[in-house]
Amino acid sequence: MRASKFARAGENREAEKLLGKLAKIAPDNADIFGLRGTLKVQLGKYLQAVPLLKRALCLDEVNPSTHASLAVAYEGLAKPDKAKRHYLRALELDPGSARTHLNFGALLWQVEEHNSAIEHYERAIELDPEFSEAYGSLAWAMHFAGRIDEALRCGETAVRLDPSSARGHMNLGQFLQANGSIEDAIRHYLKAIDLDARLAEVYKCYAYARSHP
């Protein structure tokens, strides 16, 4: 479908226009409502996304992607219980979605179900061993659990898989700093700045590392 190509290319306005026209032509097409809702989620328009995604599920309740998108929308609206319900349904329908496991893990971490969150991060990695974001999330979980060596290993893997991620380098710098490797931490902070000079947090990390050798 042309609209999904537009959305993948980031041409959101064109996708919204096309999907709106298609919805008028095919008002009972679940895929169209699902795409419209998912696009709203990508744009951060969660209130607008919810009715579109709920309509899509009325037409096709067994679409795991729609449940996953609705979960993200509810999470964005600070409704974790509803988000959790749709993540669980999405994984029931498609247990092999690494992205859904990662997103659900992030929600579980926020509501302080830390062990369950780690399980979903690890499951995401099992399903997709090249999933750098999942390694990054698992790294932070290990860090906050006081498992510094494991956090460092996960952070290193995340950067190896996606060396162009400024945030990945910044995170690895923080894990290295926590492990006492200040010079290596500074090197990764500088790499993060080189990759994305607009990443404000990294300057604080860099300044702190320089002032605490």
Please determine, for residue 7, whether its predicted confidence score (pLDDT) is greater than 50: no
On whether residue 65 sits in a domain, the answer given is: yes
- Asked whether residue 204 is assigned to any structural domain, the reply reads no
Q: How many separate domains does the chain show? A: 1
- pLDDT higher than 50, residue 48: yes
Chain segment 134-178, per-residue pLDDT in tens: 999 999 999 999 998 999 999 999 999 999 999 999 999 999 999
CB atoms within 10 A of CB 111: 13
Residue 193 has pLDDT above 60, yes or no: yes
Contact 77, 57 (CB under 8 A): no
Q: Is 211 a domain residue?
A: no
Q: Is 5 within the bounds of a domain?
A: yes
pLDDT given for residue 28 in this prediction: 77
In a domain, 141, yes or no: no
Give Rg (Cα) of the chain.
Answer: 20
Which CATH number is 75's domain given? Answer: 1.25.40.10
Measure the CA–CA gap between 186 and 180, rounded to whole angstroms. Answer: 11
Burial degree of 125 (CB within 10 A; 0-12, 13-18, 19+): buried
Percent of all residues in the chain with a pLDDT value above 70, rounded to a whole number: 87
User: Is 100 within the bounds of a domain?
Assistant: no
Dump pLDDT digits (tens) for 75-134.
999 999 999 999 999 999 999 999 999 999 999 999 999 999 999 999 999 999 999 999
Q: pLDDT averaged over the chain?
A: 91
- Residue 138: its pLDDT value, please? 98
| Structural domain for 73, as ranges | 1-95
Cα distance between residue 72 and residue 80, in whole Å: 9
Q: Which two tokens stand for residue 177?
A: 């700093």
In a domain, 91, yes or no: yes
Per-residue pLDDT for 32 more than 90? no
pLDDT computed for residue 38 by the predictor: 93
pLDDT of residue 99: 98
pTM of the model: 0.86
Any domain includes 180: no
